Amino acid sequence: MIPAAFAYRRAESVAEAIELLAEYGDEAKLLAGGHSLLPIMKFRLAAPSVVIDLGGVGGLDYIRADGDEIAIGALTRHVDLETSAELGAAVPLLRHAASVVGDCQIRHRGTIGGSVAHGDPAADLPSALMALRGTVVVEGPSGRREIPIDDFYLGFLETALGPDEVLVEVRVPRRGDRPWGFQKFRRRSIDWAIVGVAYQSEDGGGGIGLVNMGPTTLRAATAEAALRGAAAPDDVAQLADADADPIGDASATPEYRRHLARVLLARALAGGAST
């Protein structure tokens, strides 16, 4: 449980972090809350020779209104999402998803940028971004670019972030007064989801994101199409797993995960938020 030796560098700005990434290339990993990076380093699943700490970068922890969207800085911690009245009013789905991440200690260290950048299909916040059709803003040597969440996840722990890019912001549309649901099935209240479903109503249909139903966070595109076609909620829920490819592990067989996705989507469509 002791990570391989690494050099530690602390960036004081996004520009400095980008310079350090350019200098060290594939050898380097950014450190935000450390609650995904450090465990995989301890298990020796990652062995960066340089860790670039973003802890000194100011100005990346914010939740602010920007036109029809809410912009959230990458270093905003889960607890700040969970306790934000502004986020609760504008995007209650995202606030709720943050409130069910791990336990209190994890929510006080983990950041939205780290959660999204890590690319773990079992993570909660990316599924909410999928349901909300959010956008990820990244910055690199040639400036900023915006990546729709649908284009961000490429494979297991693999994203569209370039090796010299920093995730700086997440943007989601305001959806305050519309129905939403978030269902997370787990054995103990502090666990990762065995399966999770995020649902957000929108004009003419809704967005549906799936947790732990494949190698990446997934969109339930077939169920969304049925929603747009005004199918009955129970019929939509039966399509929850149509685009999924869940694994079997010690927690659940693939068949059980498919069953859970259908049950959880029915509950989410009814406006249910699990605790």
Ligand X SMILES: Cc1cc2nc3c(=O)[nH]c(=O)nc-3n(C[C@H](O)[C@H](O)[C@H](O)COP(=O)(O)OP(=O)(O)OC[C@H]3O[C@@H](n4cnc5c(N)ncnc54)[C@H](O)[C@@H]3O)c2cc1C
Quick one: which of 123, 210, 223, 266 contacts ligand X (CB under 6 A)?
Answer: 123
Q: Which of these segments, 84-92, 123-131, 215-223, 232-240, binds ligand X (CB under 6 A)? A: 123-131
Nearest-approach distance from CB 233 to ligand X, in angstroms: 26
213 is a site residue for ligand X (CB under 6 A): no
Quick one: which of 81, 166, 220, 244 contacts ligand X (CB under 6 A)?
Answer: 166
Interface positions, 93-122, toward ligand X (CB under 6 A): 101-102, 106, 109-111, 113-115, 117-118
Our CB check for ligand X shows the closer of 40 and 231 to be 40
Among 109, 83, 108, 86, which residue's Cα sits nearest to residue 96?
83
Distance from C-alpha of 182 to C-alpha of 174, rounded to nearest angstrom: 17
Distance from C-alpha of 9 to C-alpha of 56, rounded to nearest angstrom: 10
CA distances from 53 to 7, 32, 228 (A): 11, 6, 44
How wide is the angle at C-alpha 123 spanned by C-alphas 117 and 124, nearest 5°? 115
CA distances from 180 to 11, 129, 202 (A): 38, 13, 9
183 is a site residue for ligand X (CB under 6 A): no
Nearest-approach distance from CB 252 to ligand X, in angstroms: 15
Quick one: which of 11, 18, 20, 32 contacts ligand X (CB under 6 A)?
Answer: 32
Distance from C-alpha of 35 to C-alpha of 111, rounded to nearest angstrom: 9
Nearest-approach distance from CB 177 to ligand X, in angstroms: 26
Our CB check for ligand X shows the closer of 42 and 228 to be 42
Distance from C-alpha of 136 to C-alpha of 157, rounded to nearest angstrom: 16
Q: Residue 88: in which H helix or E strand, if any?
A: helix 85-90
Nearest-approach distance from CB 76 to ligand X, in angstroms: 10
Quick one: which of 11, 18, 20, 31 contacts ligand X (CB under 6 A)?
Answer: 31
> Residues with Cβ < 8 Å from 42, sequence gap 6 or more?
1, 2, 3
Nearest-approach distance from CB 80 to ligand X, in angstroms: 12
Asked if residue 173 lies in contact with residue 189, where contact means CB atoms within 8 angstroms, the answer is no
Nearest-approach distance from CB 60 to ligand X, in angstroms: 7
Interface positions, 241-270, toward ligand X (CB under 6 A): none
- Contacts with ligand X by CB under 6 A lie at 29-37, 39, 54, 74, 101-102, 106, 109-111, 113-115, 117-118, 123-125, 161, 166-167, 192
